Amino acid sequence: MTACRDFELPGRSEAVGANGMVATSHPQATLAALDVLRAGGNAIDAAVCAAAVQAVVEPTQTGIGGDCFALFMREGEATPTALNGSGWAPEAANLDWYLDRRMAEIEVESPHSVTVPGALAAWEKLVLDHGRLPWGRVLTPAIEAAEEGSCLPERLARDWGKQVGKLTRNPAAARLFLFDGEAPRAGIIHRQPALAQTLREIAVAGAKAFYTGHLAEKLVATLRERGGLHRLEDFADFGPEYVTAISTNYRGYDLWECPPNGQGVVPMLMAKALEGFDLSNWQSVSVERFHVMAEIARQAYAERDLFVADPRTGKVPVDWLLSDAHIRHLRRNVSLTGRILNLETVLQRPHRDTVFISVVDRDRMAVSLINSVFEDFGSGIACEKTGVLFHNRASSFVLEAGHPNCIAGRKRPMHTIIPAMLTRNGQAVMPFGVTGAHFQPFGQVQILTNIVDYGMSVQGAIDHPRMFARDDTFEIERSVPEEVMLGLGKLGHRVTRPENPLGTAQAIWIDRKLGVLRGGADGRRDGIALGY
């Protein structure tokens, strides 16, 4: 990696530390998790603490009404452990029910977009199975943030303001998240006493207090009052699941992902295919690099939309997708003189945001954890008595008979949130991830290739201009020069500038030669990486 950045240009320096490091998209979460490390907690304790704090202070992105995935790896272990904390659809959900009502898709602000939230059960399982600190101690900073309030940073306030319409359409959400019908400005303190009380009960009684008893009754009642099919049994029977992580090699490094129902196979497809191109022959911001990455990505996303679903309800052909023969086929489809036409795809919703957390502790346990309510403020449906806002992850299902990702009872949808882990020679090198729903695989591969192919620092790789190609869309951030856009246009791409920055990333590089940690957090949000 490069020694340092150009200090005459805007940007930020890498975080450095020897004993532990945390990188999140919110300063309050980073500080709380760092305090956990300094108090004797390990990387699992710190990551869950950060996730809980962000579930309070970043409600546009995450919450206890959302889902979670995690990868973690202890020093001395050869492979990461993966946890799938994504929730399932109600048992009563079936395709005929929706088709009988002439639904063509699952509306994002309807109760049918809400699967059982999996985050809390996943957090608790991680802490009880692998943490050092008591469950209640890990949740304490989140409880305090809900009770005492938190100041809105600038990017969060901007995103909050864009969702006034969604919140206004749900009176309970409006009362929880709007101030006299308006979004709070940057610097305003936002308090959530109902959520604080809910978290107190969960801290004492455990996650079962969320999935059973009076809290679950209030949550289910909220959804059923709006026409949802949810029942108490759907909540009570749910549990997260340890799954076997999948990997592929990229130029001597192993890239690890959670298996389907997540889209982790997509960055693996991209990385394996891109290994056949010497990216370093081209500038990091260039027509050639962006075009080749786009053409590989468009194929990988098309295959995701055709094949990726809950493997408990049908086989997902991961081995075939990653086979050498199939990867050669993807590469042969790439021409340096024009774009691929007529890709077979299934329409998916525009990408949204999420929160990603990277932690490494003194013992070099590395954690990559991601949490989300999918779209900003999720479904917009809130249970006012508990302070819980529901995600809308079930809107990722399709209503098409025979499709692998067709909705069914107790089935998990194709999921966009994916934590990543990079290893080398059986040791963790970098827990990392990128938010932005559909953008996440593309973002991960940009970070990976920025570091491995172009020798960038962690922070430099995160700061680097981004692009995103999927289906017939091709978005390029404003930091990319106009001549690159024009060059891509000549190759047949329909290039546009995105409405929002493309995703946010956090990462920590374990520098074993120097015995230090090097971290980065994305300036596209309000994030910060801190070490000690």
Q: What tens digit of pLDDT does each residue of 62-97 get? A: 999 999 999 999 999 999 999 999 999 999 999 999
Q: Is residue 1 in a domain?
A: no
499: exposed, middle or buried (Cβ count in 10 Å: 0-12, 13-18, 19+): exposed
* Lowest-pLDDT range of 125-134, 309-318, 393-402, 500-509: 309-318
Q: What is the pLDDT of residue 344?
A: 59
pLDDT of residue 352: 56
pLDDT at residue 401 above 50?
yes
Percent of all residues in the chain with a pLDDT value above 70, rounded to a whole number: 98
118 and 149 housed in the same domain: yes
Average pLDDT score over residue span 434-461: 96
**433, 370 Cβ separation under 8 angstroms:** yes
Q: Is the pLDDT of residue 351 over 50?
A: no
The answer to the question of residue 4 being in a domain is no
For residues 250 and 234, membership in a common domain is answered with no
Helix (H, G, I), strand (E, B) or coil at 173: helix
pLDDT tens for 468-516 read 999 889 999 999 999 999 999 999 999 999 999 999 999 999 999 999 9
Residue 141 sits in the same domain as residue 119: yes
In a domain? residue 285: yes
Whole-angstrom CA distances from 89 to 116, 223, 394, 479 are 6, 13, 7, 41
What's the confidence (pLDDT) of residue 6? 79
335 and 370 together in one domain: no
358 in helix, strand or coil?
strand
Residue 437: pLDDT band with limits 50, 70, 90: confident
User: At residue 274, what is the residue type?
Assistant: L
The CATH number covering residue 307 comes to 3.60.20.40
Q: Is the pLDDT of residue 181 over 50?
A: yes
Mean pLDDT (whole number) for 131-148: 98
In whole angstroms, what is the distance from residue 505 CA to residue 522 CA?
A: 5
Q: Average pLDDT, stretch 113-130?
A: 98
CB 404 within 8 A of CB 309: yes
Q: Are residues 191 and 309 in the same domain?
A: no
For residues 108 and 147, membership in a common domain is answered with yes
* Structure tokens, 3: 């020694």
Confidence of residue 287 (pLDDT cuts 50, 70, 90): very high
- Residues 13-33 have a mean pLDDT of 97
The confidence score (pLDDT) of residue 1 equals 54
The number of angstroms, rounded, from the C-alpha of 230 to the middle of its chain's C-alpha atoms is 25
Two tokens, residue 227:
């026409």
- Give the residue with greater pLDDT, 461 vs 11: 461
Q: What is the domain range of residue 192?
A: 15-240+366-396
Please report whether residue 357 resides in a domain: no
8 Å CB contact between 202 and 412: no
- Alpha-carbon distance of 356 to 116, in angstroms, equals 21
Q: Is the pLDDT at 150 greater than 90, yes or no?
A: yes
179 DSSP 8-state letter? B
Residue 120 has pLDDT above 90, yes or no: yes
Handedness of CA 73, 134, 211, 438 (dihedral sign): negative
Q: Write out the two tokens for 169.
A: 């359409």
Answer whether residue 2 shows pLDDT above 70: no
Query: How far does CA 67 lie from the centroid of its chain?
Result: 9
- Residue 333 sits in the same domain as residue 391: no
Residue 503 lies in a domain: yes
457, 447 contact by CB (below 8 A): no
Mean pLDDT computed over every residue of the chain? 95
Cα-based torsion angle of the residue sequence 366, 77, 418, 434 in order, rounded to the nearest 10 degrees: 40
Judgement on whether residues 83 and 115 belong to the same structural domain of the protein:
yes
- Alpha helix ranges (H) inside 41-106: 43-57, 95-100
* DSSP classification of residue 378: T
Q: Could you give the CA distance from residue 239 to residue 211 in angstroms, rounded to a whole number?
A: 10
187: which 2 tokens? 């610097």
Give the mean pLDDT of 414-426: 96
Pair (231, 249) in one structural domain: no
Q: What is the pLDDT of residues 333-349, one digit of tens each?
A: 999 999 998 775 444 44
Residue 297 lies in a domain: yes
The pLDDT of residue 346 is 46
- The answer as to whether 193 is a domain residue is yes
Q: How many CB atoms lie within 10 A of CB 378?
A: 31
Q: Do 231 and 251 belong to one domain? A: no
**Residue 335 DSSP code:** B
Does residue 360 form part of some domain?
Answer: no
Let me know whether 166 and 214 are in one domain. yes
466 has pLDDT over 60:
yes
- Verify that 345 and 482 share a domain, yes or no: yes
- Please state whether 504 falls in left (phi above 0), alpha (psi between -120 and 50) or beta: beta
Give residue 3's pLDDT. 58
Closest residue by Cα to residue 165 from 436, 380, 374, 391: 380
Residue 475 has phi, psi (to 5 degrees) of: -105, 140
- At 129, phi and psi to the nearest 5? -85, -30
CA 220 vs. chain centroid, Å, equals: 26
The least confident of 55-64, 124-133, 152-161, 334-343 is: 334-343
In the chain, the number of structural domains is 2
Q: What is the pLDDT of residue 12?
A: 87
- Look-up: residue for tokens 């320096």? 13
* Amino acid, res. 450: N
Q: Can you tell me the distance from the alpha carbon of 157 to that of 161, in angstroms, rounded to the nearest whole number?
A: 6
- Give the tens place of pLDDT for each residue, 253-279: 999 999 999 999 999 999 999 999 999
Asked if 203 and 140 count as a contact pair (C-beta separation under 8 A), the reply is yes
Rounded to two decimals, the pTM is 0.96
pLDDT tens, position by position, 372-385: 999 999 999 999 99
C-alpha distances in Å from residue 107, one per residue of 42, 112, 427: 40, 7, 44
